[in-house]
Chain A
Amino acid sequence: MRCCGRTEWPRRNPARGRKVRGARLFDTLTLSPLPPADEALRGPVRALIAERIADLPTDRRARSWLGFDAGFSRSLGQAGYLGLTLPKRYGGAERGPFARFVVVEELLSAGAPVAAHWIADRQSAPLILNYGTEAQRQFYLPRICRGDAFFCIGMSEPGSGSDLASVRTAAERTDRGWRLNGQKIWTTNAMHSDYMIALVRTSGGPADRHAGLSQLIVDLRAPGVTVRPIVDLTGDAHFAEVFFDNVELAPDALIGSEGEGWKQVTAELAFERSGPERIYSSVVLIDAWVRHLAAGGRSDPTSTRLAGALTARLATLRAMSIAVTARLAAGESPVIEASLVKDLGTSFEQEAPGLIGDDLAAHPDEPLDPDLYRTLLYVSQIAPSFSLRGGTREILRGIIARGLGLR
């Protein structure tokens, strides 16, 4: 999990500075079909998932993008499903955001364990492609596409959550490159990752806010790096704290421009906040509950309405998520639109376990599969994190409010 705040305008905001006749705000978000060529990926990726994780129990599938399986990620890489949007010369598939949507939707709705490659594929690779030198691209991207290089993102610190610009972890220039000192926390998958892209201060102090921040690629096997997993309330350890004690880094650890870290991080947001992972975190539970209702022959109006209501809300969210994907495909950076879908989507994801739990417990004499019970409890417990990771609900709503022209 990482929690980070953005208090500045994204550079490109389609809703801003444009007095639309009748002010239909966010009217670029519109129903968009998935192109048939991208839909065609669905069958093959589904077959691969079925072959590789057929026996994974429901409560493991419910881990969604927190479920770690390096072997599974490598098999996706071998099959060409990682780096889908990257150029072929770096090992990518040179396809668009719609292809990625279809593949990710299949992976998440099946509850496939995608954590190993998740951050690298979603954020690190596009960042390196956009801001990296040719040498950095050649070095990292082919390995990301093969599922051989896993990344995490170093944002939050003990004193910097939503107020991300207050980070204190600092890198100073040396004769041989950079020397890094400080601490990151709540870093998803740090203990399984090869590299961290860390937001650090390279000049000035906390009072300089967004100025003087840079992004560094840190080899987590370098001397001076200590990674300590943090156990979460479900008993898993999906995040970690990471300590940097005089870590010596080569000059090319810098990604992008020195002092431009904040701007680069902001550009990552549309990738981080727009995807189907913001609507499908509870879908394994929902589908298991629907099977439970059908198996028990239950068709009372209350449960039927709940099944229909969850389905209808998901249908609208899915169309909204595809609409944001269409903006990405058009070359835009729909940061505000992505925030809007993420907030609505995570609200749905969070409400689902509460509603389903109420339905199941309203029938105390009904047999309940222990696997479904474990799934319900896991999702109920982890659900609060859905609106924390990738920017809290309150931060996102602030971004939307500015997009509306408030403040």
Chain B
Amino acid sequence: MDAHELLDPFERLLGDISPPARVREIEAGASPKALWEPLAESGFLDALTPESAGGAGLSLAQAAPLLQALGRHAVPVPAAETMVARALLGEAGVEAPEGPIVLATCTGPAAAPTPLALTASHALVQRGERLVLASLADETIQATGARDGLAGVVALAADAAGPTLPAPEAGLRAVAAVVRAAAIAGAADRLLEMSVSYANARTQFGKPIGRQQAIQQQLAVMAEQVVAARIAAQIGCAGGLGTSVGAAAVAKHSASLAAVQIARIAHAVHGAIGVSEEYDLQLYTRRLYDWRLADGSEAYWAEVLGARRLAAADRGSVDFLREHTAP
């Protein structure tokens, strides 16, 4: 099955079920059911699930446009994470729960917040070489109190109970980092589109601000970062759920680096309206910050990749890239 054939209906579905108004409602505490149920019924959550387990059996590379689309629509449920979790569960022959699953990649009980954890019913966590599918109850999720309220600290005990399965070779965090990179790339597309459109519409000094070289130069830099984030996400996705640490590191490092610059320029171009609640820009820039912080920032992955680079110092850069960051 070709993911590009799926992209149009998926985009339409997301446009219907995850419009900005509903994103705001769910962030404000409304139940995500009205969004989750049609999404679950659509079958898209099993896009990556092996055909043997009733899924579409797409590779991560094939599904990358779908993961990006979820980012483009700032979907306030962990749909991409659930797709990955269902694929891993399906491969291991473990039955998937019906609700949303987050990938909680901290190896200990209390650590960095997981985006959208407050809307999840389950978490896939790594414990040693195994993954544990743990159901989430109020006492195992701590809200952060941050503005959108949907990220939460998944505070599962070291011996969390639940069905177990083998962890991906590069680790759950690497796979989650690739999913974040794809989400960043998707939201980045939307932000570029909004910023260009705003620059062409907003008039100051008697002409659209998009005719000012100072604005044009910033939007050009933004476009470069958007393409870099997209290609980086593709590098990560190319290796599938068995992605290498190197490819995941490149994907999340470049996407995180881009996320910061993209958010900065999107806001600079929009001026004051961009930081208002009622304007949609913030729905996407706030997501960029969440995803950049989740599953290792650019410095985290730079250190991971750097250690590998220094261990292979006798190799030139080109050989290192071909051997360690290709799928």
B234 to A31, Cβ gap below 8 A?
yes
Residue of B nearest to A111 (CB): B316
Tell which of B196, B231, B308 touches A406, judged by Cβ atoms closer than 8 Å.
B196
Q: Which of A272-307 contact B (CB under 8 A)?
A: 283, 286-287, 290-291, 293-295, 299, 301, 303-307
Residue of B nearest to A294 (CB): B313
The verdict on B121 contacting chain A, using a C-beta distance below 8 Å, is: no
For B, the interface residue count at a CB cutoff of 8 angstroms equals 56
Residue among B193, B215, B226, B309 with the highest chain A CB neighbour number at 10 A: B309
B307 to A24, Cβ gap below 8 A?
no
A-side interface size class: 35 or more
Chain B residues with CB under 8 Å of A403's CB are 223
Give the contact stretch, choosing among A127-135, A165-173, A257-265, A393-401. Answer: A393-401
Residue among B200, B215, B231, B311 with the highest chain A CB neighbour number at 10 A: B231
Distance (whole angstroms) from the CB of A295 to the closest CB of chain B? 8
Tell which of A21, A30, A31, A299 touches B307, judged by Cβ atoms closer than 8 Å.
A299
B253 to A22, Cβ gap below 8 A?
no
Distance (whole angstroms) from the CB of A387 to the closest CB of chain B? 13
A401 to B231, Cβ gap below 8 A?
no
B228 to A320, Cβ gap below 8 A?
yes
Given A305-B303, A344-B228: A311 touches B221 (CB 8 Å cut-off)? no
Chain B residues with CB under 8 Å of A396's CB are 220
B253 to A320, Cβ gap below 8 A?
no
A396 to B224, CA, bound (A): 11
A25 to B302, Cβ gap below 8 A?
no
B231 to A319, Cβ gap below 8 A?
yes
Residue of B nearest to A407 (CB): B211
The verdict on A233 contacting chain B, using a C-beta distance below 8 Å, is: no
A315 to B216, Cβ gap below 8 A?
no
Chain A residues with CB under 8 Å of B317's CB are 109, 283, 286-287, 290, 311, 314
Given A31-B234, A343-B220, A398-B216: A304 touches B307 (CB 8 Å cut-off)? yes
A283 to B316, CA, bound (A): 9
A312 to B310, Cβ gap below 8 A?
no
B223 to A305, Cβ gap below 8 A?
no
Residue of B nearest to A286 (CB): B317
Given A301-B303, A343-B224: A320 touches B200 (CB 8 Å cut-off)? no
A401 to B227, Cβ gap below 8 A?
no
The verdict on A158 contacting chain B, using a C-beta distance below 8 Å, is: no
Distance (whole angstroms) from the CB of A313 to the closest CB of chain B? 7
Majority secondary structure of chain B interface residues (helix, strand, loop or mixed): helix
Tell which of B11, B216, B311 touches A407, judged by Cβ atoms closer than 8 Å.
B216
B253 to A308, Cβ gap below 8 A?
yes
B220 to A401, Cβ gap below 8 A?
yes
Chain A residues with CB under 8 Å of B316's CB are 109-110, 283, 287
A316 to B318, Cβ gap below 8 A?
no
A315 to B310, Cβ gap below 8 A?
no
B318 to A21, Cβ gap below 8 A?
no
Given A26-B223, A397-B217, A404-B219: A316 touches B302 (CB 8 Å cut-off)? no
Q: Which of B34-62 contact A (CB under 8 A)?
A: none
Given A294-B310, A305-B299, A305-B306: A404 touches B220 (CB 8 Å cut-off)? yes
Distance (whole angstroms) from the CB of A14 to the closest CB of chain B? 13
- Interface of A with B (CB < 8 Å)? 21-27, 29-31, 105-106, 109-110, 283, 286-287, 290-291, 293-295, 299, 301, 303-309, 311-320, 323, 340, 343-344, 394, 396-398, 400-401, 403-407
Can you name 13 A-B residue pairings with CB atoms under 8 Å?
Answer: A22-B11, A23-B189, A25-B196, A31-B235, A109-B318, A301-B303, A305-B306, A307-B306, A312-B302, A340-B223, A343-B220, A394-B213, A404-B220
- Interface of B with A (CB < 8 Å)? 8, 11, 72, 189-190, 192-193, 196, 199-200, 210-211, 213, 215-217, 219-221, 223-224, 226-228, 230-232, 234-235, 238, 249-250, 253-254, 257, 298-299, 301-311, 313-314, 316-318, 320-321, 325
Q: Which are the 7 A-B pairs with shortest beta-carbon distances?
A: A308-B306, A294-B313, A401-B216, A308-B302, A308-B305, A397-B220, A400-B220
